[in-house]
Homo-oligomer: A and B are copies of this chain.
Amino acid sequence: MQKNNPISSNKNTQKTWGERKRFLTGVKPSGEVHIGNYFGAINPCIELSNNSNNEVILMCVDWHGLTNKSEIFRPGELTQSLIATYLALGFNYKENSIILQSDFKQIQENSWYLSCATAAGMLERSHAYKDAIANGKSPTAGLLFYPSLMASDILTFDAQFVPVGKDQAQHLEYASDMAKFFNNLVDVEVYTEPQPIIQEIPSLLGIDGERKMSKSYNNTLPIFATKKELEKRVKEIKTDSKGLDDPKNPETCAIFQIFKSFASSDALLYMHDRLEKGIGYGYGHAKKDFVDEHEKVFGTLREKFEYFNNSEQEIRNCLKIGYEKAQNYADSVTKRAREALGLKSYL
């Protein structure tokens, strides 16, 4: 075959960055946000958004939420509360962008272009797909194709940096590789290879005191639970059988370990000290202090959350700001891909 590429001589394709570093983070609307999510993923993202050297695109990936048939209605149900969570917790949406994946048709289009430059076997080797099969589940075609859509999420917006946990490193490698494959095939620098920012934050312990806090283990503490709801869950935190006056080890105490993730330093020192001394301070007391401090830290945030979660207008305003900025990036990247392929619209 002769490569008859109309713009292959022009290798310096215009990228869409400004002076700020562009980060992209995808979050799936898949359930109630818990304290583990907050410290593992949400808070770092919010901090990034409040540094004016960065431009953060926070994408609610509703399309990804469809890959599991038994949860296919969740994305639609949970999108608003997910965005309300980020707004309540202080994501700087005016200087950055919050966007909804399914508003950007270019993502599916670029996903197709990437898939046409990538060997099918790569999809079959993805962790998510292999895990589904290993767990005896029947994966959907959507799950099989997921790495391509995920790569496109990043590449469609010229993202330079993607913060990920270690378990997601493979997906990011896929995005880099697929960008390489496509650019090489058309001989033009269409897509930007993203760099992973591997987040080393250790995972938070769940209320079972054994495994990391995760929806899958049903051992979470919802961040915006009311005091009453939280009290009920906190009572379930596993402890040993030490009595009221026994000295207790904060480092092996699940209450204290979770408490560390959000309590003020004063509250922390207080509980640490009382647990170690033990005298007249049992696990019941620690649980009561836990609930009080949670209410102190998250109480007003919960009110903010309720406000945003009930105001479609606020969500719309926020998504419109993001849409207008990100739409330019997505159009520009998609135009580059189509030109490199020689695809043309006659309209």
Contacts and interface: CB of A to CB of B under 8 A. Distances in A.
Interface stretch (A62-70, A211-219, A243-251): A62-70
Nearest to A104: B105
A145 B338 CA distance: 20
A305 to B, nearest CB: 17
Contact of A120 (B72, B143, B345): B143
A199 B336 CA distance: 40
Interface stretch (A34-42, A134-142, A259-267): A134-142
Interface stretch (A17-25, A107-115, A293-301): A107-115
Interface residues of A, number: 66
A77 interface: yes
A214 to B, nearest CB: 18
Contact of A139 (B100, B119, B148, B319): B119
A56 interface: no
A112 B143 CA distance: 10
Contacts of A69: 116-117, 185
Contacts of A111: 108
Contacts of A120: 129, 138-141, 143-144
Copies of this subunit: 2
Contacts of A319: 346-347
Instruction: Identify whether the interface residues of A are mostly helix, strand, loop, or mixed.
Output: helix
B347 A323 contact: yes
A90 interface: no
Task: Indicate the member of A71, A105, A320, A343 with the most B CB atoms within 10 Å.
Answer: A343
26 contacts: A1-B71, A1-B73, A69-B116, A69-B117, A72-B116, A72-B117, A72-B186, A72-B341, A73-B342, A76-B343, A100-B346, A108-B112, A112-B145, A115-B140, A115-B142, A118-B141, A119-B139, A120-B129, A120-B141, A123-B141, A123-B144, A141-B145, A312-B346, A315-B346, A316-B346, A319-B346
